[in-house]
Amino acid sequence: MDILLDFAATFAAQLQKPTLAFLIGGMLIAALGSQLTIPDPIYRFIVFMLLMTIGLRAGMEIREADLASMVLPGLFALVLGLAIVAAGAAVLTRLPGLKADDGYATAGLFGAVSASSLAAAMVVLDEEGIAYEAWAPALYPFMDLPALLAAIVLAGIARQRRSPGGARADIKAIVLDSLRGSAISALLLGMALGLITQPAGVVEDFYDPMFRGLLSILMLILGMEAWARLSELAKVAHWYALYASISPIVHGLAAFALGYVAHVATGFSPGGVVLLAVMAGSSSDISGPPTLRAGIPGANPSAYIGASTSIGTPVAIAVGIPLYVALAQLVFDL
């Protein structure tokens, strides 16, 4: 009963957070017939700013981390991100009524990482007195970026195979096009600058203060777009609800098992194992939507964002975090 109450409270809290609140707000004004439009150049600028900020932060965190200790957990994070997308795409693109682009985008969002879920898990671990490496949160780009890139590449391969004469997809060309695309380029550029320069000042003074406001505008845009395409989702919403309810726990438990392997092999901390599980069980709330919107423009935001923010995130936080902490206390005798 307590778990159900916690889930309900977390779900209600998600409705009040900018990620979902502005998405719903955009859908509401579109439903009321508003003529509000955001010019495409402004939208592109917003996406660039968001992804540059994410990349800069990721690069700065990796630069400060103990790279030798990160090798095995980082490898596991990368494998998990790719495997979650591959498995999710295999399921979602084969279910009746689901559009392929929607399935790839949803798989990509659930393969990527939620910053809010990660932050919530760190608070819980601190409260429980469960130690974790200072660099453990920096594992997120090792899972996040490969997952988003994999989803974009798989969607590109599928589109090429559906096109006339496209039975054999040019995978190398699709990968290169994805890497050169605006979304992934911005992420990679930011990460490179975060790694090799000292951008802390400009990030704190310029990028960070604008980040939340720009994210809210992006969610408003996606909400208006989602409403325009909501009818596409009506007949298949139950599939997304089922996937978003089950997959976070399946992904998290798989990551916990790999984290335990890293613990045995390298001494990876119990708290680090929990954080790896939380990252795998989460679905992206910041990097994913703008990246997938730019990389898979044919996907319906009401499918992948709705599944993630309305169901996936509450499950990951209210059910997943307590579950992984309890497992860690049992497995590691804490």
Give the pLDDT mean for 214-228. Answer: 79
Whether 1 shows a pLDDT value over 60: the answer reads no
311/82: higher pLDDT: 82
Which residue in 96, 85, 75 sits closest to 154, CA to CA?
A: 85
Q: Specify the pLDDT at position 71.
A: 92
313-334 residue pLDDT tens: 878 887 888 899 989 988 998 7
Altogether, the residues listed in the chain come to a count of 334
| CA atoms 133, 134, 140, 141: torsion sign | negative
Contact 103, 92 (CB under 8 A): yes
pLDDT value of residue 178? 65
Q: What is the pLDDT of residues 92-151, one digit of tens each?
A: 999 988 899 999 999 999 999 987 788 788 888 888 889 988 788 888 888 988 999 999
Q: How far apart are CA 106 and CA 87, in angstroms?
A: 11
Mean pLDDT score, 146-174: 78
CB-CB contact of 144 with 110 (8 Å): no
DSSP symbols for 65-110: S-HHHHHHHHHHHHHHHHHHHHHHHHHHTTSTT--HHHHHHHHHHH
Q: How far apart are the C-alpha atoms of 173 and 326, rounded to whole Å?
A: 46
pTM score, whole prediction: 0.77
Domains and CATH numbers, the chain: 2-331 (1.20.1530.20)
Give whole-number Cα distances, 306 to 96, 141, 231, in Å.
Answer: 19, 23, 14
Q: Locate tokens 């298949």: which residue?
A: 236
Confidence at residue 232, expressed as pLDDT on a 0 to 100 scale: 60
Token pair of 144, please?
């996040």
172-185 exposure pattern, b = at least 16 Cβ within 10 A, e = fewer: eebbeebeebebbb
- Kindly state the average pLDDT of the residues 211-222: 81
Q: What is the pLDDT of residue 293?
A: 82
